[in-house]
């Protein structure tokens, strides 16, 4: 199952299995295959996710900013949709955006799409996205059990 999970996200992915003594290729592309599988593939699933720790605002201290609800104004929603539709048709995303030096392997794979989109919006957005990703991955890395155990051992 782990092999299917690791390879099944790539379009055209195949594995070879023996059927009646003959090697047969099977298409294993199935991006929704393991949705909700939970504990069986938990660590593999979590290594492909961004974990954002959130806390509710206290009742006595609501957020300072008033968030705009676009559902009240259909014209605004249509304008945003129209802009995004035209942007998506015209943009050329870089499949290999510049990665921060400490972002490697699976973490870099997870960030690649977000960084490509941010870079297409301009250099400032690319810089901000890289800073945010490094903050997220720094927090996640600090909470990994093997790192926490090492930290406790050496204290």
The β-bridge partners of 17 are: 24
pTM of the predicted structure, to 2 decimals: 0.55
**Mean pLDDT for the chain?**
78
**What span, in angstroms and rounded, lies between the C-alpha atoms of 136 and 119?**
18
C-alpha angle 81/85/90, rounded to 5°?
Answer: 150
Q: What is the pLDDT of residue 62?
A: 76
Banded pLDDT at 88 (limits 50, 70, 90): confident
- Pick the residue with more confidence: 84 or 124? 124
- Please answer whether residues 87 and 95 qualify as being in contact, where contact means their C-beta atoms are separated by less than 8 angstroms: no
Q: Flag the least confident range among 12-16, 41-45, 78-82, 98-102.
A: 41-45
> Domain limits of the chain?
1-44, 98-155
Tens digit of pLDDT for each residue in 20-48?
A: 999 998 887 765 555 555 555 666 666 77
Q: What is the pLDDT of residue 99?
A: 93
Token reading at 140 = 């996640």
CA distances from 29 to 26, 67, 104 (A): 9, 40, 25
DSSP 14: E
- pLDDT greater than 70 at residue 85: yes
Q: What is the pLDDT of residue 125?
A: 94
Total length of the chain: 155
For 53-111, the DSSP string reads: ---PPPTTS--SSPPP-GGG-HHHHHHHHHHHHHHHHH----SSPPPPTT--HHHHHHH
The β-bridge partners of 16 are: 25
């Amino acid at each position: 199952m782990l092999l299917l999970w690791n390879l099944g996200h790539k379009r055209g992915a195949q594995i070879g299995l023996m059927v009646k003594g003959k090697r047969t290729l099977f298409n294993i592309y199935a991006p929704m295959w393991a949705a909700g599988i939970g504990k069986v593939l938990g660590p593999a699933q979590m290594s492909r996710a961004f974990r954002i720790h959130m806390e509710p605002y206290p009742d006595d201290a609501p957020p300072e900013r008033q968030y705009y609800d676009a559902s009240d104004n259909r014209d605004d929603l249509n304008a945003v949709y129209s802009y995004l539709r035209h942007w998506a048709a015209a943009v050329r995303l870089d499949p290999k955006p510049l990665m921060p030096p400490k972002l490697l392997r699976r973490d870099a794979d997870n960030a690649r799409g977000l960084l490509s989109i941010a870079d297409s919006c301009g250099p400032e957005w690319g810089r901000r996205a890289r800073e945010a990703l490094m903050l997220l991955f720094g927090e996640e890395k600090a909470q990994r059990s093997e790192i926490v155990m090492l930290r406790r051992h050496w204290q």
